Structure 1
Amino acid sequence: MDLYRIVSEVIDLRSFSNLWYWVALAVLWSSVSHWVLGVPYDMIQRARRQGGQAQLDVETLASINARRMLAITRTAAAPLFFGLAFFFTVLTLLAFWYWVEFAQAVFFLTVWMLPVAWLSLRTALKIEGGEDLGAGLYQQLLLLRRMVQVVGMFAILVTSMFGMWRNLSHSILY
């Protein structure tokens, strides 16, 4: 058997026609909407129902993750910005100037994490500003989760529309 043919069958770089790409997309958005600011949704629900130790756990976890995120952004904002700008510039050029399908797939997986990160950072600032206890914290975390889900729905819609268009145009051309 030809080794190149076996590898190309197993690792198909035509991403939008690959089942594993769509599984990865679903797992990504499922995880991102479940873990808002590092706090799992089931912990938030349990803390809202039971209070007590569950509430303290959510408050502690949200506070730790908010402080951690803010510390990272305050100390490394410039390198993060320039690193992300470089990454997305190269990725965008490969995806839409050179029309590399694998780069397009990675672009559609990663570009939507920018608004999610911005929303998380905004929520972390609110938590640091005093909305870090009880009902106010739950409201912020659930609002963040809802906004992340909206971004995710839009991301999945745009990605699937582009992927279908890419597959149809590829099948017509070849």
Structure 2
Amino acid sequence: MDWYEAVFELIDLRSFSNLWYWIALAVFWSSASHYVLGVPFDLVLRAKRKGGQAEADLRDMVRVAINRLLIIGEVSGLLIFGFGCFVITGLFLLGFMYGVEFAQALFLILFPMGLLGLMSIRAASSIESNVETMDQLHARLLKHRFWTQVLGIISIFITAIWGMYQNMVVGSL
């Protein structure tokens, strides 16, 4: 047995059986849940509890983040959406029609993140047009974080089920 075989036998480089894939998936969803529309969630909680300067900081950070999201959406949103659909469709076809496991793994991360991007733009638009008080802002940010976590739970569950299935199928060959 040569050295390369020993290393590749010890470290499985398939996507769903690789520990680094699952760490990356956890980091993606943990970050998405912590940064609500680009604003750290601890700032939202601190502003709700203490008010004052924390509330002013929250209002400023939300204003900057929302303006940034909406400007990106207006200026290049259609181009980003089209390119994202192209990439996600390509990954879907490569992964599930041609059986490329790496494409499946990327699709199972990027597709829900694309949905989260659309949810974020919708939430930013809603905050800009409908939110007038800090209580409404807190409620809208909490609602967005809740739905982000729901999407994350569903995404991780589907990815785990598919990953276990792939490991059982590939492991039995």
**1:48-101 residue CA offsets vs partner (Å, 9 max, x unmatched):** 011011001111111111111011111112211221121112111111111111
TM-score (norm 2): 0.92
Give the match's secondary structure for 1:17.
Answer: coil
CA distance in 2, matches of 1:3, 1:75: 52
**1:127-174 residue CA offsets vs partner (Å, 9 max, x unmatched):** 21141541111111010000000000000100000000000011112x
What letter is aligned with 2:41?
A: Y
Q: In angstroms, what is the RMSD of aligned CA positions?
A: 1.9
Cα separation, partners in 2 of 1:6 and 1:140, compared to 1, 3 Å: farther
Segments of 5+ residues of structure 1 without an aligned counterpart are: none
CA distance in 2, matches of 1:29, 1:17: 19
Identity between Structure 1 and Structure 2 (%): 45
Cα separation, partners in 2 of 1:166 and 1:138, compared to 1, 3 Å: same
Residues 1:114 and 2:114 aligned together = yes
Segments of 5+ residues of structure 2 without an aligned counterpart are: none
Q: Are 1:13 and 1:102, in contact at CA under 8 Å, matched by a contact in 2?
A: no
Give the match's secondary structure for 1:114.
Answer: helix
Q: How far has the Cα of 1:11 moved from its partner?
A: 7.5
TM-score (norm 1): 0.92
Moved over 2 A (4+): 1-13
Counterparts of residues 22-171 of structure 1 (less than 5 Å): 22-131=22-131, 133-171=133-171
Give the match's secondary structure for 1:76.
Answer: helix
Q: Are 2:84 and 2:114, in contact at CA under 8 Å, matched by a contact in 1?
A: no
CA distance in 2, matches of 1:3, 1:62: 53
Q: Are 1:131 and 1:137, in contact at CA under 8 Å, matched by a contact in 2?
A: yes
